[in-house]
Amino acid sequence: MEDFREKQKLHRKKIELIMDAIHKNRNLQYKKTMEAKRLYEQRCRDKDEAEQAVHRNANLVTQKQQEKLFLKLAQTKSALEDSDRNYQQSVTTLEKIREEWQKEHINACEFFETQEWERINYFRNALWLHVNQLSQECVQNDEKYEEIRKSLEMCSIEKDIDFFVNLRKTGSLAPAPVVYENYYNTQRNPTPVRSPVPVPISRRGPLPTPTSAPGDPDYATVSDYSLITH
The pLDDT assigned to 50 comes to 79
pLDDT given for residue 177 in this prediction: 86
For the whole model, what pTM was predicted? 0.51
CB atoms within 10 A of CB 35: 13
Residue 87 is which amino acid?
Answer: Y
Work out the mean pLDDT of the chain and round it to a whole number. 81
Q: Are 227 and 219 in contact (CB under 8 A)?
A: yes
Which tens digits make up the pLDDT trace of 167-210? 988 888 877 888 878 777 766 655 555 555 554 444 444 444 44
| C-alpha closest to that of 39 among 69, 85, 70, 83 | 83
Give 106-138 pLDDT, tens digit per residue. Answer: 999 999 999 999 999 999 999 999 999 999 999
pLDDT for 58 = 64
- Cα(187)–Cα(190) distance, rounded to whole angstroms? 6
Rounded to an integer, what distance in angstroms lies between the CA atom of residue 220 and that of residue 206? 19
State the number of CA atoms in the 13 A half-sphere of 38 facing the CB: 6
pLDDT tens per residue, range 139-148: 999 999 999 9
**CA-closest candidate to residue 17, choices 83, 123, 104:** 104
